[in-house]
Copies of this chain bind each other. A is one copy, B any other.
Amino acid sequence: MRDFNEKTITDAVIQRFIGAGDPRVKQVCESLVRHVHDFVRDVRPSYEEWEYAIDFLTRTGQISGPARQEFILLSDTLGVSMLVDAINNPVDGKVTQSTVLGPWFVDDAPVFELGADISGAMRGEPAFVSGKIESEDGSPLAGASVDVWHSDDDGFYDVQQLDKLGGAAGRGRFTTDNEGRYWFWTIKPTRYPVPTDGPVGEMLHGQGRHPWRPAHLHFLIRAPGHRKLVTHIFDSTDPYLDSDAVFGVKDELVRDFAEHPAGVAPDGSRREAPFATIAFDFVVAKQG
C-alpha cells in the first residue's frame, strides 16, 4: 500500500497489527492509533507544532530520573492518573477511596516501629497520626504494611532535597499491630506546587493554571489477601482542596488536624511544644 491520505492512513497503520501475538497489545495499539489520529485530524497541527510536541515529549523523558518522574506528573496534571484510578477502583461505599500515587513514592522506605517519629531532619509542627486498617468485612488487619510519605514546611519531599536532609525524612514503612492499628509521629504536611521548572510547568503556564496541591499525607497500604490501597489524607483547612493541580481530592479523604497545646499526647508521651493530631481508619478491599 502506498499514497495514503489523511483518511486512509489510520486503517493502513492498524492493518499492520494483524500479526500481533498478544490480543491485548493489538487492542491497545489499535485504539491508540485511532484516538491519536483523531486528535491530529481534529487540531490539524502545523509542522512546527508537531516539532514542538516531539521536543516536549523528549524533554519530559529526559528530565525524569530516580528522584523525578515528569511523565507521571504529566499524567497527573492532565487528569489521566485519576481516570485510571477511577477505572480500577470504582467507589463502592465500603472501602476507602483511592487517589494518585504521585511522582514521589519510593519502594524501599525506611522501616520503623509503631510510634516512631519519621520526620528526620524535616522542620514543621509535630503531628501524631493514628488509625487502623480493616478489611471490608470489618475485621482488623494485623501485620498490614503501611507506607507513608509527605512534604515538609517548604513543600518538598525528602527525595527532592537529600543533600540538605542527609537521608530519608517524612517517609517510613510500618506494620500494623494485632488489632490492625498504626500510629506514628511526624510533622504536619503543607501545600506545595508540583515542580514547574520542567515541561509540565511550561504546560501549566500555557494553560493558565496554578501548580498547587493541597496539604496531604500519602498512604500505600498492603495486606495479604487484599488489594493494594494508594490514597491520601487531606488537611481540611487547605485553600486548594477545590483546585488540586492533579484532581486527586475526594471528600471522604479530607480530615481535620486537631491542634493541642504542649502536654500529654495520645500515646502518653509528654510534648514540650504544641502539636497536632489526625486519625484515619482505612478499609481495604479483599482480593477479588
Contact = CB atoms under 8 A, between A and B. Distances in A.
A60 B72 CA distance: 14
Interface in A199-216: 203, 206-209
Interface string A184-228: 000000000000000000010011110000000000000000000
A43 B57 contact: no
A37 B80 contact: yes
Contacts of A178: none
B62 A25 contact: no
Interface stretch (A133-141, A144-152, A243-251, A274-282): A243-251
Interface SS majority for chain A: helix
Nearest to A79: B13
Given A9-B247, A37-B79, A209-B19, A71 B57 contact: yes
A251 B3 CA distance: 7
A227 to B, nearest CB: 10
A42 B84 CA distance: 11
Interface stretch (A26-34, A115-123, A162-170): A26-34
A81 to B, nearest CB: 8
26 contacts: A2-B249, A4-B79, A4-B247, A5-B86, A6-B86, A9-B82, A9-B86, A10-B79, A13-B79, A25-B207, A27-B43, A28-B45, A28-B49, A29-B207, A32-B78, A35-B36, A35-B39, A36-B39, A37-B83, A40-B84, A45-B87, A46-B88, A47-B84, A50-B75, A58-B60, A58-B61
